[in-house]
């Protein structure tokens, strides 16, 4: 088995702004924890720095007029009519190098897809990717270019059958929208329910359209859903659909903002639960293109994605964070000294409510979606 890690130091040049929750330093921090564990130099592992994607490659999904606006915003000054395209103060600020950053992100995910499609790697991880909210003509939810959609389109152009699974706390709405009428791609998203969290979508009844009814799958979760409730629900929905759809390759968005201490969301997974979900995806995928996604507590991002990369390489890591990482842990004020979280039992009423809600969603998926796939 060959695995590929896609990473670029170019991200140190970009900054959404001092008050923005998406901190670029999370990427370098993750890389350094992976390296401290020895995960970047193992036999069979290759590391690749992406080239920025061309405008033509990005135009495979995004509207040319929107890309003109992104290019015009690259100097850090809002172009005229920016709000029409989702740009401006708040979630999607205009900052110096915006278009450059979008091209690097897209290039990394396209490279990961090509490494897997060509057979150069069985599993590839571009943890700076997974910006799943961007729409064809609009920035959304910290996302300017939808690199996940571009990766899927690249794999489809290579003749591969693609299943997309998204475990970010936020619904993967941009990817769902891109393939909502395309039965050649099955999208599955598990996320905090949309009546509590951005983007306000991702209900079971969003099932696809036309010939693709039953090919958009959503498993919404009650706030405070923990690993002990999430993992059985994941198991009830994802493996049967992967087996029935029989993809050539899985594209996975591995947002770690489902963690119990993430400042923007309300789920309660621990790193262990997140890692178990990733291991199941790895086991189910004949080939895997993994992308990052959300995650706004830096210690969770570094630990979660390091655990995910270990799973992709079938490596069991020591719990204690490596001594070589101690300086980073101090600088970033890590509250834990281990890869894994301590147990944090939930109040019984929260667990019962989460369990009852997710069981209703699983039952609805079995009733509305499974028959389409012969289940």
The residues that are catalytic are: 133
Of 255, 2, 278, nearest in space to 116 by CA: 2
Tally of CB atoms within 10 A around 33: 26
Specify the 3-state DSSP secondary structure of 299.
helix
**Helix (H) / strand (E) containing 112:** helix 98-117
The CA distances from residue 155 to 71, 106, 242, in Å, are 26, 14, 17
Q: Which two tokens stand for residue 287?
A: 């080939």
Compute the distance between CA of residue 95 and CA of residue 75 in angstroms, rounded to an integer.
7
Cα–Cα distance between 81 and 71 in angstroms, integer?
14
- C-alpha 98/C-alpha 164 separation (Å) is 26
Nearest residue to 250 (alpha-carbon basis) of 126, 129, 161: 161
Q: Give me the numbers of helices (H) and strands (E) for the chain, helices first please.
A: 11, 8
- What's the rounded Cα separation, in Å, for the pair 289 and 164? 9
State the Cα–Cα distance between residues 33 and 40, nearest whole angstrom: 10
**What backbone torsions phi and psi does residue 317 show, to the nearest 5 degrees?**
-95, 150
């Amino acid at each position: 088995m060959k695995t590929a890690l896609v990473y670029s130091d170019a991200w140190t040049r970009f900054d959404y702004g001092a008050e923005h929750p998406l901190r670029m330093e999370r990427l370098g921090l993750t890389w350094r924890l992976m390296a401290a564990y020895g995960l970047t130099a193992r036999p069979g592992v290759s590391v690749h720095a992406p080239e920025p994607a061309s405008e033509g490659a990005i135009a495979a999904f995004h509207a040319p007029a929107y890309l003109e606006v992104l290019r015009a915003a690259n100097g850090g000054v809002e172009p005229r009519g920016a709000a029409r395209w989702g740009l401006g103060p708040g979630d999607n600020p205009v900052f110096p190098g915006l278009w450059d950053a979008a091209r690097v992100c897209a290039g990394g995910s396209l490279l990961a897809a090509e490494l897997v499609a060509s057979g150069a790697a069985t599993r590839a991880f571009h943890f700076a990717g997974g910006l799943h909210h961007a729409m064809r003509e609009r920035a959304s939810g910290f996302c300017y270019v939808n690199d996940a959609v571009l990766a899927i389109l690249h794999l489809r152009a290579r003749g591969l059958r693609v299943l997309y699974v998204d475990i970010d706390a936020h619904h993967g709405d941009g990817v769902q929208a891109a393939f909502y009428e395309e039965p050649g791609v099955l999208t599955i998203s598990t996320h905090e329910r949309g009546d509590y969290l951005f983007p306000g979508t991702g209900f079971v009844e969003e099932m696809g359209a036309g010939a693709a009814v039953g090919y958009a799958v959503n498993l919404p979760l009650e706030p405070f859903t923990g690993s002990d409730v999430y993992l059985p629900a994941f198991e009830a929905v994802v493996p049967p659909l992967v087996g029935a759809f029989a993809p050539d390759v899985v594209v996975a968005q591995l947002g770690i903002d489902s963690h119990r201490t993430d400042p923007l969301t309300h789920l309660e997974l621990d790193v262990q639960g997140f890692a178990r979900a990733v291991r199941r995806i790895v086991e189910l995928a004949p080939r895997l293109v993994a992308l990052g996604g959300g995650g706004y507590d830096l210690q969770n991002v570094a630990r979660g994605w390091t655990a995910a990369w270990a799973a992709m390489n079938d490596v069991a890591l020591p719990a204690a964070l490596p001594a070589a990482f101690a300086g980073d842990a101090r600088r970033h004020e890590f509250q834990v000294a281990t890869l894994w979280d301590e147990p944090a039992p939930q109040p019984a009423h929260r667990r019962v409510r989460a369990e009852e809600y997710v069981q209703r969603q699983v039952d609805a998926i079995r009733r509305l979606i499974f028959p389409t796939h012969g289940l």
